Amino acid sequence: MVGFTEAFKLGTILTSISMPKTIIPGPKAADGAPVRLLLGPWDDLCGVVSSEIDSLGAGRPSTGTSIPSVAFLAFSTSEREYKDRKSPPLALRRFLETKGIRVYNPRNKTAGNNESPVAMLLGLISYLVDPVSSGPAGKKGGMIEVWASCNDAAKAQFAKTIPPSFFMNDRHIALQKAFIKAEGGKIGAPPQSRRDILNYVDSIRSLLSQLNPNDRGRLTLSGFVARLLAFPIFRHSGFTVAMFRQALFTQLLEANIAPTRRTMDPLDQPLESAVSQGKFKWPDRYWNLLNVFGGYLDNTNLDDPEVEAFEQDAVLMITFHQAKGLEFDHIYVTATGRNPDVGPALRTGLFSGRAVPYTMNDGLNTTDQQTLDLSLADREREVYVALTRAKLSLTIMHDPALAERDFYQLNPAIEKLFASVQAKVSAVNLAVQVKELTYA
């Protein structure tokens, strides 16, 4: 690994623009594992890597034995997906979690993801209060999805719930639909893995509406959430019920809804519902909850509270910047070839009094060679930091099909180092090629 990282540095602009520095292995350093480049479709790469990490025993709570540290490094570890642009870090997380491996991504705004516990819980509360159903509200009476808070009276009249008296954002409905339509499900026909919990919510809604108006029962919102957390979809995710309740939901409710002062109604009193003209009727405080919390998840990037609990014994997903000063037994690196960003170097030059020419057409551009060199050096320096974090093994992941994306190109210096290496087929997945570099 020392030989590889030094060869990388020699193949970049760092040799001419950085202070001279040579790193050599210590006198008792072992030869170590070859540095690897894994090539193939991203899902196949994730399958190979997750199998390796699983065999290492990483990402699980310690039982007294030493657990190797593992980190996945990239220029960006965002797990947000936009339309048809899938998130590679999110795909890797899903492969790892399928094997029961705990993953912690401090830059991942997990609460806003449709499959995060917070989002799923709000989707289920949305389903309790305002279930989406099908109604003849389309063109010529066609059946379409309808719900009470859609802000369209023509559609809301076919919903199962009486609409609120004020405007609603539809983020809570998006989370409800995402929960029901996961794994190929659809409105009215959820996937088998989620039917039990949805049927349970249906039963709670029905029972609440049958209560005597003077007897609201004992079930509170937090009690309802606690019951939901006992279902396998939450219980099998690797976290305890206590942690879910405290870190993923209750804290967010208390910290982020109360300060809005959108409602002065407490949320800790017993749930209440009624039936009026064949439809369910809910107090305004529950509509306010869905409105405020739904909008909050949609517009605010949230980190999970109690982050130390998530980080312990987990496989880390961190950016190259975050990895500075850290070391891990096994490192997996991707997204090494982003286009250089001239912004920081250009600002430095301008603030230093240099008359650097630049344009703002289609992004920030300059022809100043010094600025271009400094920008390229910034990129190579970040990659060098990532490559030098490994203690026992270093693996670089690259999917050529992702090369069109800025972050997911392969760094030219890394590509050149592996250019003459004969590729082998992975023993785990025939779609993945493996190149190995060994330095004497």
What's the confidence (pLDDT) of residue 258?
A: 44
Nearest by Cα to 145 from 157, 135, 153: 135
Residue 216: pLDDT band with limits 50, 70, 90: low
Of the ranges 71-85, 199-213, 258-272, 313-327, which one carries the lowest mean pLDDT score? 258-272
Given a cut of 70, is residue 381 above it in pLDDT? Answer: yes
Please name the residues in contact with 240: beta carbons below 8 A apart, sequence gap of 6 or more. Answer: none
Per DSSP, what are the bridge partners of residue 281?
274
Q: Is the pLDDT of residue 13 over 70?
A: yes
C-beta separation of 92 from 106 below 8 A? no
| pLDDT of amino acid 113 | 63
The mean pLDDT value of the chain amounts to 83
| Whole-angstrom distance, CA of residue 145 vs CA of residue 125 | 18
The average pLDDT across 176-190 equals 92
Q: For residue 361, what pLDDT is reported?
A: 77
In this prediction, residue 5 carries a pLDDT of 92
Residue 11 pLDDT? 93
Q: Are 127 and 180 in contact (CB under 8 A)?
A: yes
Q: What is the pLDDT of residue 114?
A: 65
Look up residue 287 and give its amino acid. Answer: W
pLDDT tens digits, residue range 339-373? Answer: 888 888 888 888 888 888 888 877 788 888 998 98
**Per-residue CA distances from 239 to 165, 233, 235, 335, 385 (Å):** 38, 11, 7, 30, 32
Q: Does residue 122 register a pLDDT over 90?
A: no
Whole-number pLDDT of residue 267:
63
Global pTM reads: 0.60
Q: How confident is the model at residue 272 (pLDDT cuts 50, 70, 90)?
A: confident
CB atoms within 10 A of CB 264: 8
The predicted model gives 133-148 an average pLDDT of: 92
pLDDT band at 303 (very low <50, low <70, confident <90, very high): very low
CA nearest neighbour of 134 among 142, 150, 145, 126: 145
Q: Which of 128-142, 254-268, 346-360 has the lowest mean pLDDT?
A: 254-268
User: If you average pLDDT over residues 106-115, what whole number do you get?
Assistant: 59
- Cα dihedral value 250, 252, 258, 260, nearest 10: -160
Place of tokens 């023993």: 427
Mean pLDDT of 123-142: 92
Please, what sign has the CA dihedral across residues 163, 165, 169, 172? negative
Type of residue at 225: V
Coil/strand/helix, residue 50 = helix
The pLDDT value given to residue 302: 44
Q: Provide the pLDDT for residue 297.
A: 65
The CATH 3.40.50.300 domain(s) of the chain lie at: 2-108+309-437
Segment 399-406 mean pLDDT: 86
Best CA proximity match to 333, nearest among 387, 289, 283, 297: 387
pLDDT at 276 over 80: yes
Q: How far is CA 262 from CA 148, 255, 257, 289, 291, in A?
A: 20, 13, 8, 9, 10
**21-76 pLDDT tens trace:** 778 877 887 778 899 999 999 999 999 999 999 999 998 876 667 889 999 999 88
- pLDDT the model gives residue 215: 66
Residues making up the chain, counted from first to last: 440
Per-residue pLDDT at 127 exceeds 80: yes
Please check the confidence at residue 307 and state whether its pLDDT lies above 70.
no
- Distance CA(72)–CA(90), nearest Å, equals 12
Q: Is the predicted pLDDT of residue 152 greater than 60, yes or no?
A: yes
Whether the per-residue pLDDT at 230 is higher than 90: the answer is: no
Task: Kindly tell me the number of DSSP H helices and DSSP E strands found in the chain.
Answer: 17, 12
Residue 251 has pLDDT above 80, yes or no: no
Question: Which pLDDT value is given to residue 440?
Answer: 65
Q: Which of 37-51, 108-122, 189-203, 310-324 has the lowest mean pLDDT?
A: 108-122
Name the residue type at position 146. Answer: V
Q: Which amino acid is at 22?
A: T
Return the exposure string of 327-342: e unless at least 16 CB atoms fall within 10 Å of the residue's CB, then b. Answer: ebbbbbbbbbbbebeb
Report pLDDT for 311: 62
Query: Measured at the alpha carbon of residue 315, what is the angle toward residues 313 and 317, in degrees to the nearest 5?
Result: 135
CATH architecture for residues 2-108+309-437? 3-Layer(aba) Sandwich (3.40)
Confidence check: pLDDT of 108 > 80: no
pLDDT of residue 34: 94
pLDDT category of residue 257 using cuts at 50, 70 and 90: very low
Q: Is the dihedral of CA 381, 386, 388, 394 positive or negative?
A: negative
Pairing assessment for the beta strands 328-333 and 390-398 based on DSSP bridges:
parallel
Q: Please enumerate in sequence order all residues whose Cβ is within 8 A of that of 5, keeping only pairs 6 or more positions apart, or say none.
A: 23, 384, 387, 388
Cα separation of 87 and 428, whole Å?
23
Q: Which of 176-190, 216-230, 235-249 has the lowest mean pLDDT?
A: 235-249
Q: Give the pLDDT confidence score for residue 308 in this predicted structure.
A: 43
Question: Does 243 have pLDDT greater than 60?
Answer: no
